[in-house]
Amino acid sequence: MRQGEVDGVATAAETLQANALTKSMLEDNFIVLLLSFGGAKPPPKFAPAIAKLPNLRDHITDETERRAFDVYIGTFNITRPFLTTPGIPPDRLQILRGALWKMMHDAEFVAAAEKQGFVLHPVGHEEVGSLVQAMFNLPKPVKEKLEEIFK
């Protein structure tokens, strides 16, 4: 971008904080945020700036296209899910979920992750399950629209 080879990119705002170069470009207003796709709640640091942006989802008027967009954008909310094998005993599953949730909210862990440029946005297992179920149980028109888009 600084060399004029690229005029723009589509990325999550928080990834601009991932390294010193893009972070400084954002702070110097060399990088300007133009559009919000909607979907995941933005990290608190970016929420005020993103709230001022036009939201792409708000401009999708066709209901089938909006639902297809929601399914697609929903995948960004669960980009790094933790999974286990089917049939895990419920008590063990509860222990694993609790330990992971506790770690993802531990102040020391969060600080260490943010120091390395990571932005944590933990999503609970209920929401992940709902998103995955929605992806596997798409109404036929939505599935056809997604197939058309991704041909």
pTM: 0.65
Assign 102 a pLDDT band (cuts: 50, 70, 90): very high
Assign 118 a pLDDT band (cuts: 50, 70, 90).
Answer: confident
Tokens representing residue 59 in the block: 């401009």
Is it the case that residue 97 has pLDDT exceeding 90?
yes
